[in-house]
Structure 1
């Protein structure tokens, strides 16, 4: 019986690790080229930023061997560290005979002066004084400090006006004897300051009809206002108003005179109640021009005295 032939078994072993390693190392070369290119780019940008126009021209001449350099090198000698032939051209040390081979001198950036070390186009025409800041910096700082001072003063002043308003409202609520007069006081914060308007009512009046003589009810209201504003340093403005009812003989004495006289009478009462006279900076009469109740010109509320605790800017 013939013997069966056994085919040889061939085993091929592949080293996958080596091929994988070779494949994985390929990116390193590409990355190294990229890093080198980026470093070169930033180096060029840095050189362009720290060098002057003349120095950049010298660098360009260095990489152009067919052009003569027009700039000096970093040496301070008469020949600027380079040989000159009879015709004045720059030549190499090994040039034969009278034949000159033009070359460019390498730029020397290390010899930059103090003025050349600054980036091009960024020189300060006015250097800072020794040991201090420049004038623009000092001016800006002074302006900022002045602004902060004004804002702080305005905030403090507003707080003072709000305190005066609270004192007035508290006095009206806690003093029983002023209960009938509470409706005669109108308090409001305005753009120029705290305005307190003392108005007449249907059965309550501060002055006799057609007269500038203040009665007891008017004096009580003036003392109330004086007590609230006495501690404040703000200046005061006093304005008198009347209703639209005119005089029979308005040519001699009318609402203009009456409103002015009543405002002046209010000034005297405030001074008598303890308000310094120097704080009152304006006393005027507006006749019947500014009605509190515009729909009813004859309303008693239109007969009033306006006392304004002025803000600093408004009181100037």
Structure 2
């Protein structure tokens, strides 16, 4: 074999090696305001596997992932395209802006929810945000779950609670004055403050930390009319439409302070409501929570 042949053989080997190298490239689109969902389009070539690093501590091996950023900031997204031992990396910076509303990311083993806190109930809003920032709720349980009614949590005594332990009496040592608002009603997904009932709490002051999220039952026009005649509440068209569409617990209106609402993840409420419970309505398998401010 002459030198020319050897030269061309080497070129062919180099070309063959280069042809097997993966090419990493991607594009994206979506909402750049937290908790924005970004749809990533994988444009890699000659790759068999993929590893995405979203720059916020999470990764994915999906080919075309949809990722939600739960905080604002600049995130360097990396796509590693692999083919055997060969790999190529592409990167792009994505800027996520802070939301205008007060939003909470509530994470459970059964899925995630995004909750909007209402400005119309400032005392409850500010207290809840303070507790979230202090990680007060992290690793607490949804300790009382009633299908067709609500899911309740926020008792600090539920952290690492033994099976069968009596829960629902704990709190931060203070209560909050009621902030009733006729426009904020107990439709499915409503976030409301638990409280002590009966004559010991005539002002209907709220627990400092315990809350519930409405699961609810179907609501009819007739049942709303009955509630109006019994309580004096006058439901507007918006409240009626939402009750008829989503269901809820209108019997609780103006008895417990509604201070927020689940705006994403209503299906997670369904999942939690359907878990197996013991005789005290506590889930047999613990449903833990983690709450973070979306900012």
TM-score (norm 2): 0.25
Q: Whose RCO is larger (CA < 8 A, sep 6+)?
A: 2
Q: Between Structure 1 and Structure 2, which shows a larger proportion of strand residues?
A: 2
Which has more radius of gyration? 1
Q: Between Structure 1 and Structure 2, which shows a larger proportion of helix residues?
A: 1
